[in-house]
Amino acid sequence: MKRIDFLSLVNNFKVVFLDSYGVLKNHEGLIDGVPQTIDYLRNQGIIIKILTNDASRSRQQQADLFKSLGLNGLTSSQIITSGTLARHFLEDKKIKGKIAYLGTENAAEYILHIDRDSIPIGEIDLENCDDISAFVFLDDEGFDWNVDINKVINLLRMKNIPVVVANSDKMYPVSPRDVAVGTGGIAKLVENILNRKFIHFGKPDSQMFMYAYNQLLSEGDYTKNEILMVGDTLHTDILGGNKFGLHTVLVLTGNTRESAVETLVSATGIIPDYICKSIVH
Amino acid sequence: MKRIDFLSLVNNFKVVFLDSYGVLKNHEGLIDGVPQTIDYLRNQGIIIKILTNDASRSRQQQADLFKSLGLNGLTSSQIITSGTLARHFLEDKKIKGKIAYLGTENAAEYILHIDRDSIPIGEIDLENCDDISAFVFLDDEGFDWNVDINKVINLLRMKNIPVVVANSDKMYPVSPRDVAVGTGGIAKLVENILNRKFIHFGKPDSQMFMYAYNQLLSEGDYTKNEILMVGDTLHTDILGGNKFGLHTVLVLTGNTRESAVETLVSATGIIPDYICKSIVH
Amino acid sequence: MKRIDFLSLVNNFKVVFLDSYGVLKNHEGLIDGVPQTIDYLRNQGIIIKILTNDASRSRQQQADLFKSLGLNGLTSSQIITSGTLARHFLEDKKIKGKIAYLGTENAAEYILHIDRDSIPIGEIDLENCDDISAFVFLDDEGFDWNVDINKVINLLRMKNIPVVVANSDKMYPVSPRDVAVGTGGIAKLVENILNRKFIHFGKPDSQMFMYAYNQLLSEGDYTKNEILMVGDTLHTDILGGNKFGLHTVLVLTGNTRESAVETLVSATGIIPDYICKSIVH
Amino acid sequence: MKRIDFLSLVNNFKVVFLDSYGVLKNHEGLIDGVPQTIDYLRNQGIIIKILTNDASRSRQQQADLFKSLGLNGLTSSQIITSGTLARHFLEDKKIKGKIAYLGTENAAEYILHIDRDSIPIGEIDLENCDDISAFVFLDDEGFDWNVDINKVINLLRMKNIPVVVANSDKMYPVSPRDVAVGTGGIAKLVENILNRKFIHFGKPDSQMFMYAYNQLLSEGDYTKNEILMVGDTLHTDILGGNKFGLHTVLVLTGNTRESAVETLVSATGIIPDYICKSIVH
């Protein structure tokens, strides 16, 4: 666990995997200096991929959002989201029938983006739901918490169908002070009530790393040793990166504060290879 | 684990502790034949106490509700609720300052029923909450889930204050088919997000049994051996009764279906001393 | 959470409940100055009770051990152990048949101390164990871990009987540097393998506090407000004392180090009313 | 969840991934008819890979063992073990210094099989262990449970190093009646005592499926849709296979009994695509 400047560290690698929130941006927009770092990486010929737990937007929408914030040149194929993996899962399983979901219509359109029927939880008639064959937790918006969480529970009590959590983050920051319950937190509540385990997508699970790595192998010859995983959260970015066999660096521009690093690393046993203040210097 | 008729079993005991929902009543009202059983117990001189995980009503409101359903003669002192215990806790701790809560105004009035300030989560100003010194999860109604659950989380991130869960039931039945997330389920979500443990009241914890038993000792001389705990739920009524050293009987008029008894007992290791179809025969 | 001297704090109370290890003694013997504090409490007329998670010795053996260390005048009735509660539970349940156990013969004799059959796990014949009607985790010594833990698991797979954990501590200190897995840790392993929940005795559960409090009420008139719970561990002493409605003080002579207090209190949400360096000043 | 004969099902696939214990063999040796099924698969040109949670033997030793039982022609490259993945992890991370382990010398030699120093827990001097840079749970044999489990805990309290669990199975069958605590169960005990999370290898984690799939892609062009995962355990084989996007079949020759299938599937929410009595018919 060495303290080091990011720009001197990164030159030892051919590829960087970057978390998005807390590394590239925060609630106010891009973190100062990030566009310069991205330019530097490009100039050095270092390949960039972004791995983000998110299922509210399509990869193209993510790229467009970065552009609108002032970070140009990211293509949709560079951005790997947990929602992408959930969609591939549903496609691979060739599920027949309707897919029910909790979340926004936009998420359903772009994440499930399916030449098939999908139906938001609010429109389901529990007396008449034989045709529903899978359920997806997509987003923490787009429904009425007072009513629809109970409806999900009662649907899943009746129907033993595959349930997918397209973003396993329990919470996310909404301001320097406040957080909000995320898709993964709602899913956890439902799992807890039903005493069941759903299929979760997103870091720290290996699936997202594997997807990014396989994509990388289709572009050239790389070993895991040549990849640096950059994140602000021990339990997702660093745990996942470590387990996948990547070198990992914890940055302090997001979830993990400088003053808490030592305590947290020691309490969790999740040890990044390096610690950097930010990706800017 | 003997199968037996309740009316022949109960004559071996001087006291019965009864769960309410699933034993005395269900979503439709009183279970058929329950008033006759209660009369029979009274005629036999068997003492009756009701132990219920509930914090939405005062003990007197509970007694009035039984009366309105057709079960007469229950006094408020016979009904022990998890809300009562939560209130005693807050009184014993002599907490100074305001108590914030999630739940209805009625619950706050009757459960906290305090000659002190209390404030619903919806009215709290997070910029200005220095005077709040405890938090209580009272009920699953009386607030907006879309907004107020996140507000509770952010309040408790800022303030490290005692947090009390006045009803630890994760869910409760609302119809033969459907359940709803209960106060304990919401509290669990918040505990999970914050990675903290709150102070929970209600079965299976020993507190409620102890309270009922101490009340009993003030009325006469009884040993635990003379008490029969009656419930429909293994994890609350039977686990709690077993641990407190009471004889326990599982009835099949509520949460536990006949067809699932053997499997559930064997899977959980929670073993009632007796099984009865209902308290009616 | 006030920092205060113990001797000035304790004068506000009529009763103190003291944890043993980490408060009165450590691996080297009595903590310096403890006999003087105990004398002071006696001179002030403050009632002393010791609440300890232990099932390896009888209450009399505990009192004798304190005497041999130099702390005189403690009677067995002043010492409440988790083992005592486990024994009362087994007596109350009037279990017929043999009780099997994991632990030393001494623990079986003094804790179960039963005019009944008991049998150590090592002597059980799994082909022929119909007469066994309960199982107790007594101690982490007195058996061969290589063989007997698996034997417990296979016994409990065959027989769905009440299982009692007479000391729920997962680990205990054996030197300033080292710990050892305790009875509660072994029980947790077995629960985890079998996916079942056993009946645990010991702090933080309310049973031990209730037992001490009821004993106290038989000696005079006391309210919970007049009792101070003293302990070195947030998760057992302080959590249990808080929940039972006692005033609580964390001392720093055992499990909780000065430098970690703030972090631990904030991370766990378990808040002692007071913090004292030790009970000596 | 269709009931179907394995031999008619398997013809729809180009590849089968098979669990070992409970599918190919049991405590008595090969399951009757298994060699004939394997021959049939070969004749049909179906590719066979074996995915097993095991870290006690090398892949070659596994192949030799199958041969000695009467199953010929399996090569080491066809057998993917959790131990293999743990070794690759340690190689990828380029850990410097000694690797400490719990398990047999054979496992250390063949799994770690390292041109580097390794040291069994029994030989470590806790006063002098600065050079140890990683720890591996390899096997449930080869050490003294009475002493060495505590030693692991105390080592890991002192040193915050990467910890790898080379076989995450909590238990394994040793006879039709009995089970034994496995490597994963011991690791879980230590995690529970230390309140930390280690890096686990083995099903249901995606790593092993990914490894097998990547190996497959190096041999030819296959899609996940062309692969059938066969296992006897819902929580490892089926959960892992489902999540990786494979078609899954549960066989009833191992951990899951015919009479319990419906209950278990419904309780866990882990749903195999197919159920077959065995792989023999």
Rounded average pLDDT over A65-69: 96
Q: Which helix (H) or strand (E) holds C158?
A: helix C145-158
Q: Does B188 touch chain A (CB under 8 A)?
A: yes
pLDDT greater than 90 at residue B19: yes
Highest mean pLDDT, choosing among B80-89, B183-192, C197-206, D81-90? B183-192
| CB-based contact A205 D206, cutoff 8 Å | yes
CA B43 to chain centroid, in Å, comes to 27
| CB-based contact D267 A161, cutoff 8 Å | no
pLDDT level of residue A238 (50, 70, 90 thresholds): very high
Per residue in B20-75, pLDDT tens?
999 999 988 999 999 999 999 999 999 999 999 999 999 999 999 999 999 999 99
Name which of D129, D146, D150, D174 to mutate to probe chain C: the one with the most chain C Cβ atoms within 10 A of its Cβ: D150
Q: Which residues of A touch B193 (CB under 8 A)?
A: 170-171, 179, 181, 185
Closest Cβ–Cβ partner in D194, D195, D268 for A197: D268
Rounded average pLDDT over D178-201: 93
Alpha-helical segments (H) within B51-104: 59-69, 82-92
CA D279 to chain centroid, in Å, comes to 19
Angle at which helices B183-194 and A183-194 pack, to 10 degrees? 130
Residues A111, A115, A117, A122, CA torsion sign: positive
Residues C212, C214, C218, C221, CA torsion sign: positive
Nearest to A275, CA basis, from C192, D35, D259, A253: A253
Nearest to D100, CA basis, from D174, D164, D144: D164
Q: What is the pLDDT of residue D195?
A: 85
Length of chain C: 281
More confident call, A257 vs A18: A18
For chain C, list residues with pLDDT below 70: 113-116
Please calculate the CA angle B269-B272-B278 and round it to the nearest 5 degrees: 135
pLDDT greater than 80 at residue D113: no
B13: left (phi over 0), alpha (psi -120 to 50) or beta: beta
For C171, nearest residue in chain D (alpha carbons): D193
Rounded average pLDDT over D215-223: 92
Rounded CA separation A74/A142 (Å): 28
For B181, nearest residue in chain A (alpha carbons): A150
Contacts of B222 (CB under 8 A, 6+ apart): B14, B15, B47, B213, B216
Q: Which helix (H) or strand (E) holds B29?
A: strand B29-30
Closest Cβ–Cβ partner in B198, B246, B269 for C196: B269
pLDDT level of residue D179 (50, 70, 90 thresholds): very high
Q: Which tokens in the block code for residue A20?
A: 């998005």
The radius of gyration computed from the CA coordinates of chain B, to the nearest angstrom, equals 19
Q: What is the pLDDT of residue D165?
A: 96
For B140, nearest residue in chain A (alpha carbons): A146
Phi, psi of B26 (to 5 degrees): -140, -165
More confident call, D240 vs D95: D240
Q: Does C171 touch chain D (CB under 8 A)?
A: yes
Per residue in B195-223, pLDDT tens?
888 989 999 988 899 999 989 998 999 99
Per residue in D22-48, pLDDT tens?
999 998 899 999 999 999 999 999 999
Q: Does B129 touch chain A (CB under 8 A)?
A: no
B residues 260-279 lying closer than 8 A (beta carbon) to C: 265-271
Rounded CA separation D112/D74 (Å): 22
Q: What is the pLDDT of residue A132?
A: 94
Q: What is the pLDDT of residue A115?
A: 58
Residue A164 DSSP code: E
Q: Which helix (H) or strand (E) holds C39?
A: helix C34-43
Per residue in A86-118, pLDDT tens?
988 888 777 778 999 999 998 998 877 655 689
pLDDT greater than 90 at residue B238: yes
Q: Which residues of B touch A233 (CB under 8 A)?
A: none
DSSP secondary structure string, C65-123?
A: HHHHHT-----GGGEEEHHHHHHHHHHHTT--SEEEEES-HHHIIIII--SS-EEEGGG
Residue A122 DSSP code: G
More confident call, D249 vs A93: D249
Rounded CA separation D240/D232 (Å): 12
Rounded CA separation B207/D151 (Å): 39
Q: Which helix (H) or strand (E) holds B200?
A: strand B199-200
**Average pLDDT score, chain B:** 92
Q: How far apart are the first and last CA of chain B?
A: 18
Nearest to A52, CA basis, from A38, A32, A66: A66
Q: What is the pLDDT of residue B38?
A: 97
Phi, psi of D187 (to 5 degrees): -60, -40
pLDDT level of residue B11 (50, 70, 90 thresholds): very high
More confident call, D268 vs C157: C157
| CB-based contact C89 B243, cutoff 8 Å | yes
Closest Cβ–Cβ partner in C144, C146, C185 for D193: C185
Rounded CA separation B99/B101 (Å): 7
Q: What is the pLDDT of residue B186?
A: 98
**Average pLDDT score, chain A:** 92
pLDDT greater than 70 at residue B116: no
Q: Does C195 touch chain D (CB under 8 A)?
A: no
How close C46 comes to chain B (CA, Å)?
20
pLDDT greater than 80 at residue A265: yes
Phi, psi of D167 (to 5 degrees): -155, 110
Rounded average pLDDT over A242-271: 88
pLDDT greater than 90 at residue B93: no
| CB-based contact D188 C192, cutoff 8 Å | yes
Does the N-terminal peptide bond of residue D204 adopt cis geometry, omega within 30 degrees of 0? yes
Residue D21 DSSP code: B
* 3-class secondary structure, C21: strand
Q: Which ipTM score applies to this complex?
A: 0.91
Nearest to A198, CA basis, from A185, A208, A215, A211: A185
* CB distance A191 to B181 below 8 Å: no
pLDDT level of residue B115 (50, 70, 90 thresholds): low
Burial annotation A126-157 (CB, 10 A radius, 16+ → b, else e): eeeeeebbbbbbbbbebbebeebbbbbbbbbb
pLDDT greater than 80 at residue B252: yes
